[in-house]
Structure 1
Amino acid sequence: MIVIFDLDGTLIDSAPDIHATANTVLAGEGLGDLDLPTVRSFIGRGVPHLVGRLLGAHGIEDAPRRARMMAEFGRHYDSAVNLTTVFPGVPQALAQLRAQGHVLGICTNKPVSPARAILRHVGLLDHFAVVIGGDSCPERKPHPAPLLLARSACGKGPVVYVGDSEVDAECAAAAGLPLVLYTHGYRHAPAETLPHAALLDDFARLPEVLDALMPAS
């Protein structure tokens, strides 16, 4: 089976690093800090969306300023790793899935370079055959193109997407792929209200959840 994962809010809790970077960028513009819950609520649709929401929280709409802040955010993003943690059970689950012969991939709206940097920092990069980011194709999730690109890059076979948010649920549905919805991420709506093939509250259960979704031979 091919198992493609979202990154932020699914495998890692990167919100503290994104929050710190956001406030660094805001300070450089002479704008006040935002708290962690506010910045966490902006995560999931890529850097352009995030920066737009940072400005919107200050009542600002300014395209040149947004472009400048996006560039500054990108300058800090590869090194924004020290506050990020891996969700419980993730390393063990990934190792078990690889040992069972599953092919693993990443499909995230985080740009590829910082995605690879954080995966390397937390010791997970070698598990993945491909990392598709928000700059890998013209569209970002929830458009299905990045997920379909990840699927193609991983080869042939049944595919499951593992994500945590409304964006992931919409993307999986648009791509026609089953979603395993991790319930401890950055989702806003109740998990039960989002389309999913299975709910996951503990990564120790992921191998058995995937077994249950494996097509009958």
Structure 2
Amino acid sequence: MILIFDLDGTLIDSAPDIAAAVNQVLHEEGLAPLDLPTVTGFVGNGLPKLVERVMAACALPSARHQELTARVLRQYEAEPSARTRVYPGVVQALKDLQVAGHELALCTNKPEAPARAILQQLGLDSFFPVVIGGDTLSVNKPNPAPALAAQAQMGGGPAAFIGDSEVDAATAKAAAMPFYLFTEGYRKSPVDQLPHHAAFADFANLPSLIGQTEA
């Protein structure tokens, strides 16, 4: 089976680095920083949407959106993994899934270049021969096209989606893929309000959940 993973809030906790980039730009603007829970709540629909939400929270004029998005991205790319951590159990789970014969791909709303950079810096790049970022196509999640593109680039065949958020649940549903919900990420809704095939809080349980689906 092809297993398509989200990145932020699923494989890695990157919110502290995203918040640091946002707050550096706010500091340059002479504005007070936003706390981590606030910025974490803005994650999920890609960087442009995150910056749009930051601007609304800080009463910045919408005409500056493109400029501020570029500045936040430059700041983030300068130090993308200083505070980012891989969630416990992820590496072993990915190894076990590969040993079981599954093919792994990545589908994230993070721009492709920083997504690839952080995978390399955290030692996860070898697991994912296919990476679809938020700017790889003209649309991003929850549109199903990025997930379907990942599936196609892996050669097609049965696929499932693993993510942590409302956006990921909607993506999997639109792509007609089973959805495995990692409950310790950035979701805003209760678990029972998100459509999912199975939910897990510990990556050590994911390989067996996938195996049960195939049985």
- 1:99, distance to aligned residue in structure 2 (A): 1.6
Identity across aligned pairs (percent)?
Answer: 52
Equivalences for 1:89-168 in 2 at 5 Å? 89-168=89-168
Cα distance in 2 between the residues matched to 1:47 and 1:172: 20
- Aligned residue for 1:115, secondary structure, equals helix
Q: TM-score, normalised by structure 1?
A: 0.96
- 1:157, distance to aligned residue in structure 2 (A): 2.2
- 1:61, distance to aligned residue in structure 2 (A): 3.4
- 1:50, distance to aligned residue in structure 2 (A): 0.6
Cα distance in 2 between the residues matched to 1:154 and 1:32: 45
Equivalences for 1:34-49 in 2 at 5 Å? 34-49=34-49
Deviations 1:110-168 (A, max 9, x none): 00111111111111110012010000101111111111111111112210100000000
8 Å contact 2:108–2:132 — kept in the other structure?
yes
Cα distance in 2 between the residues matched to 1:166 and 1:72: 27
Cα distance in 1 between the residues matched to 2:75 and 2:126: 24
- Aligned residue for 1:136, secondary structure, equals coil
Equivalences for 1:77-88 in 2 at 5 Å? 77-78=76-77, 79-88=79-88
Corresponding residue for residue 3 of structure 2: 3
Corresponding residue for residue 175 of structure 1: 175
Cα distance in 2 between the residues matched to 1:40 and 1:102: 31
Deviations 1:148-199 (A, max 9, x none): 1111111122101000000001111111111000000000001111101111
Letter in 2 for 1:61: P
Q: TM-score, normalised by structure 2?
A: 0.96
Cα distance in 1 between the residues matched to 2:31 and 2:145: 35
Corresponding residue for residue 25 of structure 1: 25
Letter in 1 for 2:68: M
Corresponding residue for residue 61 of structure 2: 61
Corresponding residue for residue 76 of structure 1: 75
- Aligned residue for 2:42, secondary structure, equals coil
Aligned length: 214
Cα distance in 1 between the residues matched to 2:128 and 2:39: 28
Structure 1 moving runs of 4+ over 6 Å: none
- Aligned residue for 1:199, secondary structure, equals strand
* C-alpha RMSD of matched pairs (Å): 1.0
- 1:77, distance to aligned residue in structure 2 (A): 2.5
